Amino acid sequence: MELTPIIQVIVWGFVIAVVLGIIVNKTNFCTMGSVSDLVNMNDTGRLWAWVLAFTVALAGVLLMEGFGIIDLSQTMPPYRTSNFAWMRYLLGGIIFGIGMTLASGCVNKTLIRIGSGNLKSLMVLFIGGYFAYLMTKTDFFYYGFNIWMSPTNIELAQYGIENQSVSAILAGILGIKDVGVFHWAVGGLIVAGLLTFIFKSRDFRSRFDNVLGGTSVGLLVLAAWYVTGGPLGQAAVDQASFMLFPPPGVGVMSLTFVNPMGETVYYLAHPLTFTLITFGVAILTGVIFGSFLYSIVTRQFRFEWFTSFSDFVRHVIGAVLMGIGGVLAMGCTIGQGVTGLSTMAVGSAIAFGSFIFGSALTMKVQYYKMVYEDKASFVAALVSALVDMRLLPKRARMLQPM
């Protein structure tokens, strides 16, 4: 029996995600972990591994676009949209960064932990997925955020700027008409510059897993772009266009996990409706399965549960914030921090920076609360953390650093 293009795309998405689950589990590729290394040990190795991932993905995207293999002008989510929703990227990114720290990892790390037997992360997935569902399938987003956020959006087209990619914005400012050639030139300079800085880092070069993780994740993002945006993906789009009731989630996309959380929860509520098994559902379950395989083979699989009630509450709050913040930011650490950045979208850079800021701030507040215990109020810990991050003057410090 020959599989239809739509099913083939879903199957390939699952396969790509299985490999991702194995690689991420093996190399400990993790945004929150890289922020923790930076904040607590001043080690930038894993953060540079992350930069390598989107640098590899960006280089591949430039090549595939140059040869006409893929077209990323219309993606899901719309990375290069001309409607620049800067407030969504900023606020959503901070909320998600706080959430992933409280929940012990971003969505991708949550999936990795589930595959390794972590039941806490399973609960985080369902709660985060439920709130992602509320944000995407109900009026929760519209009344809670869109009404007051949408007036802050900037429509770049009215300034003669084609979209929010770095190259398009620069071309608009400089009055350059041939955006295509300029786009590849700017992208090439960015790739060359980033690779120079990445491999200058001793922290990065000290562990081969940094090279393996960064390179592999970047290539897997490229593979997903090719599957959904290449000939097979176009055939799937054409198939859906002729269907009376086309299935959801058919289009050009790559690895991202917040919206797929909501899609997965929605499918589990209607398990016999197989058309709800989207590319997003496939990659989410694929990562879990890949991590499970690696954990079994390496004998690292073990069940984990909450250590205390406060641990439970912290994870619940983190899951809620990840679901809401991830949809607001239009992606997670992988979705915006690798996939989105591979399109050179400015919004993705804002979101990724906000993830890191929200996570780092939360870690510092937790640090002060742990060191000073009951003596430190939340406000004192927050103010002192902001002083550490040089966002407030030193005279505002309420707690001495330890």
Residues 246-259 have pLDDT tens digits of 888 899 999 999 99
Residue 21 has pLDDT above 90, yes or no: yes
Residues 31 and 298: beta-carbon distance below 8 Å: no
Query: The dihedral of CA 240, 331, 53, 346: what is its sign?
Result: positive
DSSP element (H, E) containing 155: strand 154-155
Cα 139 from chain centre:
24
Any domain includes 101: yes
Any domain includes 160: yes
Give the domain range for residue 240: 5-396
Q: Provide the pLDDT for residue 245.
A: 83
Q: Provide the pLDDT for residue 99.
A: 96
How does pLDDT run across 39-88, given as a tens digit for each residue? 888 889 999 999 999 999 999 999 999 999 999 999 999 999 999 999 99
Any domain includes 401: no
Any domain includes 119: yes
Mean pLDDT of the chain: 94
Q: Provide the pLDDT for residue 402.
A: 66
Q: Provide the pLDDT for residue 1.
A: 64
Any domain includes 91: yes
In the structure encoding, which two tokens stand for residue 98, read together?
């706080």
Q: Provide the pLDDT for residue 53.
A: 96
In the structure encoding, which two tokens stand for residue 314, read together?
């912290």
Number of domains, the chain: 1
Q: Provide the pLDDT for residue 9.
A: 97
Question: H helices within 103-163, ranges in order?
Answer: 107-115, 119-137, 140-141, 147-149
**What's the first-to-final CA gap in the chain, in angstroms?**
66
b or e along 332-364 (b: 16 or more beta carbons within 10 Å of the residue's beta carbon)? bbbbbbbbbbbbbbbbbbbbbbbbbbbbbbbbb
Residue 156 has pLDDT above 80, yes or no: yes
Any domain includes 175: yes
Any domain includes 402: no
In the structure encoding, which two tokens stand for residue 278, read together?
């989207």
Q: Tell if the pTM clears 0.85, that is, is over it.
A: yes
How does pLDDT run across 190-219, given as a tens digit for each residue? 999 999 999 999 999 989 999 999 999 999
Residues near 263 by beta carbon (within 8 Å), at least 6 away in sequence: 248, 249, 276, 278, 280, 281, 284
